[in-house]
Chain A
Amino acid sequence: MAKLYRSREGEATAVDTKSQLTTLGSEAAPGPLLVPTGVTKLTGIIIASIQNMAAATGFSSLVRLEGPGLPGGPEVFAAAAGGNAVATGGNGSMKAQFIDVDIDVTSANEILIFGEMCGTDVGQVSFGVTLIFE
């Protein structure tokens, strides 16, 4: 069966706090991310994450998947880590990473995607997450 790609993005601005990723760029309210009809598996996840370098500290980030679309319960993925020696001067790009997974899903049910900044508060961490269904 062909693959289907569904994405959300957003920011975490508080440390050790779940921030739901609910937007998709120009779509401020794309609605719930529902498991497409006819699919049974989440077979891949693509994650891009970066800090805004606004504080001199270190951090890591993770992506949390929850909701009734995941009959086996929540799953959590490492996303990024980094730090700044000073908060004056930084430029960075991070390419997205593809992760091959095999997670059961329930079609027509919602998957909630959260991003979290961990460690100490670096200012802001951006997340982009794509779920690949088959």
Chain B
Amino acid sequence: MSKTLTVEGDLATVDARANITTQGSVTAPSLIVPSGVTKIDKIICSASAEGLADGSAVFFIRIGGSAVKRGEQNIVISAAARIAVQAGSDAAPQMCGLVVIENADIEVNSSDSLSIAAEMAGNDLGTGHIVVTLMFA
């Protein structure tokens, strides 16, 4: 039986760890691993930036907390870049497809707490945003 845990949040500063703790209308979802599961089986994620500043950057997540048996795991999710348009022109939007990591196989302790963080690394592209779903099995 699969159980999901989804969180999302802003990445307002480059090269800074941001804890991802909200879930849209739910401001403080539980970050406790469901009882009866032993691992994170799948990771579904998307991350990009608003593209208000020039440069290039990558996005990655940190899955840690006391529930992760072998310590924090860090996983690259996406990359984004922007160069300024000519005066009077409009820029294209930033769109990032979903990254799905099947059989992620990260061992966890059930009923213990997770810490999910993310970072934009490289150049500051303006505020980034990330959404992460962990599927437990």
Contact = CB atoms under 8 A, between A and B. Distances in A.
A60 interface: no
A49 B58 CA distance: 8
| Range for the number of chain A residues in contact with chain B | 35 or more
B16 A95 contact: no
B83 A3 contact: no
A4 B80 CA distance: 25
A4 B120 contact: no
B105 A2 contact: yes
Contacts, number: 158
Secondary structure at the B interface, as helix, strand, loop or mixed, is strand
A5 B39 CA distance: 14
B83 A5 contact: no
A77 to B, nearest CB: 13
Contact of B73 (A5, A28, A84, A96): A5
Contacts of A87: 83
A107 B116 CA distance: 27
| Range for the number of chain B residues in contact with chain A | 35 or more
Interface in B30-81: 39, 46, 48-49, 51, 54-60, 69-70, 73-81
Given A52-B54, A90-B82, A92-B94, A3 B75 contact: no
B107 A91 contact: no
A128 interface: yes
12 contacts: A2-B69, A10-B122, A26-B15, A54-B83, A88-B83, A89-B85, A90-B82, A91-B92, A94-B96, A95-B99, A124-B56, A128-B76
